[in-house]
Amino acid sequence: MATVQTTRQSLVHPLRGQPTAVGNFYIYAMATLTIEIPETVDIDKRRISMIVASKLYEQGRLSLGQASDVAGLTKRAFIELLADYGVSVFNFPVSDLSKEVINA
């Protein structure tokens, strides 16, 4: 089995466990994920990271910036690759789009 492991450390509010505001930026804690994949599967770490990041972005669980960080890419590179994973960069529910059209 091949093991894929990613680690990233950031600051989190000590009591709430939520993002900490630093000026105009929020700093998020990142968890470490270890996945065991049979060696017969021909896939690399970057592709697995992109699959996870694109799916979580599609579900609205990660922002574009967070997802690009998980994938280890710039926002621009992440956006350019989203279509390869069947994910639209315009990640809005229809109800939100309807509201935007009404408020425009």
Share of the chain above pLDDT 90, in %: 37
Q: What is the CA radius of gyration of the chain?
A: 16
Please state the domain count of the chain: 1
Given a cut of 70, whether residue 20 has pLDDT beyond it is no
Q: What is the pLDDT of residues 28-44, one digit of tens each?
A: 677 787 888 888 988 88
Q: Model pTM? A: 0.64
DSSP H helices, the chain, are 45-58, 64-71, 75-82, 94-103
Contact criterion met (CB below 8 Å) for 85 and 50: yes
Give the residue, 25 or 76, on which the prediction is more confident: 76
Give the Cα separation of 80 and 42 in Å (integer).
23
What is the predicted pLDDT for the residue at 104? 67
Give the Cα separation of 99 and 104 in Å (integer).
8
Local structure of residue 4 (DSSP, 8 states): E
Host domain of residue 11: 2-103
> Confidence band (pLDDT; 50, 70, 90) for 4?
low
